[in-house]
């Protein structure tokens, strides 16, 4: 581990312990994004993880920077998720944006003074980006006029700019897709009612509506033809980041259960001395270690041909393990685990949310299943033993009873 990574991880853990945990219940009660908290995150380098140092970023490789969300996840998985999406947009803007865009936005984004988010999903399409209706018309002066809507937009009404995927024609497919950054104050942009999400109400999410929104060509992040490919890369980064945050959530749940059960007296001893409790928490501990190894491996291969499949493995396995961990640790506390003061109910709901965002675990299974089909096609056919699968054409087919 480099000194820079160690410093950033330490800052992230301090942020979780000193800023997130003491305040997250209040944030949820007031239903407002904690801008003061994200400003503090920016001040310690957590909002420009992958951006070049020349723009005020940390210049970390994805494999290092993604570990930050495990530390932030110790405090709250939804907060970690929001910062991960901001960092992905900042990475895209600083890496692929026009020089004019970088000049105007880069340092504000890396410092956290301005927040960014990603808008791909549409109300009618869910996980199918091919069903995209948001259209951008390219005008004679180079500006783009955009109409359409997006769903499940994080930091809705709070972000300062939205990295939005659009189509530029009615032609089916993705060859005409692009990504353009739309400032929040652009005339014609509006938001629907905020979604009611009980355990992470501080993270505003809603639909975003675009009505004759005109944006400068300076704000093109990915040109026509590269929008979908870039979006899929962003989603892969997001999926591994979510797995990282889930590990922090699992560690938080496990530590809560250990802190409680080491002193809770029952049946002539302490709960943690009981084999049943040890086995339950031991299984959580093993799945946490496996989850760490998996997301870190996936982070190492992002951007390579192996990246999408490994991201799918991480997104399939780790959030499921987090749901199981939160429920198991709640069970260890018994009735006390239902009390809000212990935070396990919040962790259970967060884990379920993280199973769904940026591709449900079922979508990950689809990705994995297709990879298995491709692998199967490269393998030799196994010979069928003589007499199996062969029916004598001169006789009637045997019944199941006769075959038995």
- Helices (DSSP H) in 31-130: which residue ranges? 35-43, 62-65, 68-73, 77-96, 99-110
Rounded distance, CA 240 to CA 71, Å? Answer: 14
What would the pLDDT profile of 104-145 be if each residue is shown by its tens digit?
Answer: 999 999 999 999 999 999 888 766 777 789 999 999 999 999
Q: Which residues contact 64 (CB under 8 A, 6 or more apart)?
A: 2, 5, 8
Fold entry, domain 3-115? Butyryl-Coa Dehydrogenase, subunit A; domain 1 (1.10.540)
pLDDT at 390: 58
Cα dihedral: 145, 147, 152, 157 (round 10): 60
What would the pLDDT profile of 361-378 be if each residue is shown by its tens digit?
Answer: 888 999 999 999 999 999
Kindly tell me the burial class for residue 13, based on how many C-beta atoms sit within 10 Å of its own C-beta (0-12, 13-18, 19 or more): middle
pLDDT at 357: 85
Rounded distance, CA 307 to CA 317, Å? Answer: 15
Residue 396: pLDDT band (50, 70, 90) is low
**Higher-scoring residue by pLDDT: 125, 157:** 157
On the CB side of 123, CA atoms within 13 Å amount to 11
In a 3-state reduction of DSSP, which class is residue 149?
strand
Rounded distance, CA 284 to CA 223, Å? Answer: 45
pLDDT at 250: 96
For the residues 256-263, what does the mean pLDDT come to?
Answer: 86
Number of helical H runs and strand E runs in the chain: 13, 10
pLDDT at 203 over 60: yes
Give the range among 208-222, 242-256, 279-293, 332-346 with minimum mean pLDDT. Answer: 332-346
Tokens of 233: 């890369």
Q: What percent of the chain has pLDDT over 70?
A: 94
Rounded distance, CA 158 to CA 163, Å? Answer: 14
CB 197 within 8 A of CB 353: yes
CATH of 229-377, one of 3.30.450.20, 1.20.140.10, 1.20.1090.10, 3.30.70.2860: 1.20.140.10
CB 229 within 8 A of CB 71: no
Residue 400: pLDDT band (50, 70, 90) is very low
pLDDT at 404: 39
Nearest CA-CA partner of 330 in 253, 258, 386: 253
Rounded distance, CA 20 to CA 2, Å? Answer: 26
pLDDT at 393 over 50: no
What would the pLDDT profile of 267-314 be if each residue is shown by its tens digit?
Answer: 666 777 788 888 999 999 999 999 999 999 999 999 999 999 999 999
3-state SS of 34-47 is: CHHHHHHHHHCCCC
Q: What CATH code is assigned to 117-224?
A: 2.40.110.10
Cα first-last separation, the chain = 61
CB 195 within 8 A of CB 153: no
Residue 398: pLDDT band (50, 70, 90) is very low
Tokens of 240: 């591994």
Rounded distance, CA 75 to CA 81, Å? Answer: 11
Kindly tell me the burial class for residue 241, based on how many C-beta atoms sit within 10 Å of its own C-beta (0-12, 13-18, 19 or more): buried
Q: Looking at residue 220, what DSSP letter applies?
A: E
User: Residue ranges of the domains in the chain?
Assistant: 3-115, 117-224, 229-377
Q: What is this structure's pTM? A: 0.90
């Amino acid at each position: 581990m480099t000194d820079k990574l160690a410093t950033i991880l330490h800052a992230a853990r301090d942020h979780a312990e000193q800023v997130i945990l003491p305040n997250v219940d209040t944030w949820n009660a007031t239903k407002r994004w904690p801008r003061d908290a994200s400003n503090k995150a920016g001040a310690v380098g957590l909002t420009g993880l992958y951006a070049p140092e020349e723009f005020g970023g940390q210049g970390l490789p994805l494999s290092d920077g993604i570990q930050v969300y495990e530390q932030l996840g110790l405090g709250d998985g939804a907060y970690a998720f929001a910062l991960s999406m901001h960092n992905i947009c900042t990475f895209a803007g600083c890496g692929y944006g026009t020089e004019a865009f970088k000049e105007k936005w880069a340092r504000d984004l890396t410092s956290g003074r301005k927040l960014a988010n990603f808008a791909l999903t549409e109300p009618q399409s869910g996980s199918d980006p091919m069903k995209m209706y948001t259209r951008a018309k390219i005008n004679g002066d180079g500006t783009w006029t955009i109409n359409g809507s997006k769903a499940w937009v994080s930091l809705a009404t709070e972000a300062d700019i939205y990295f939005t995927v659009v189509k530029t024609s009615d032609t089916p497919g993705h060859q005409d897709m692009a990504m353009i950054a739309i400032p929040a104050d652009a005339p014609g942009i509006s938001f629907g009612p905020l979604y009611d999400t009980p355990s992470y109400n501080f993270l505003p999410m809603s639909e975003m509506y675009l009505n004759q929104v005109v944006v400068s060509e300076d704000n093109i992040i990915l040109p026509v033809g590269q929008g979908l490919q870039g979006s899929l890369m962003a989603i892969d980064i997001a999926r591994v980041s979510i797995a990282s945050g889930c590990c922090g959530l699992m560690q938080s749940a496990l530590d809560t259960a250990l802190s409680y059960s080491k002193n809770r007296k029952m049946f002539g001893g302490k709960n943690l001395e009981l084999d049943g409790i040890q086995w339950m928490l031991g299984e959580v501990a093993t799945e946490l270690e496996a989850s760490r190894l998996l997301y870190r491996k996936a982070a190492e291969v992002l951007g390579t041909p192996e990246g999408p499949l490994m991201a799918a493995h991480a997104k399939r396995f780790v959030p499921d393990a987090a749901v199981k961990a939160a429920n198991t640790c709640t069970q260890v506390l018994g009735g006390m685990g239902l009390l809000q003061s212990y935070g396990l109910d919040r962790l259970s709901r967060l884990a379920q949310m993280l199973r769904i965002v940026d591709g449900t675990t079922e979508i990950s299974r689809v990705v994995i299943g297709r990879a298995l089909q491709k692998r199967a096609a490269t393998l030799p056919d196994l010979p069928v033993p003589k007499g199996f699968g062969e029916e004598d054409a001169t006789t009637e087919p045997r019944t199941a009873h006769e075959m038995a």
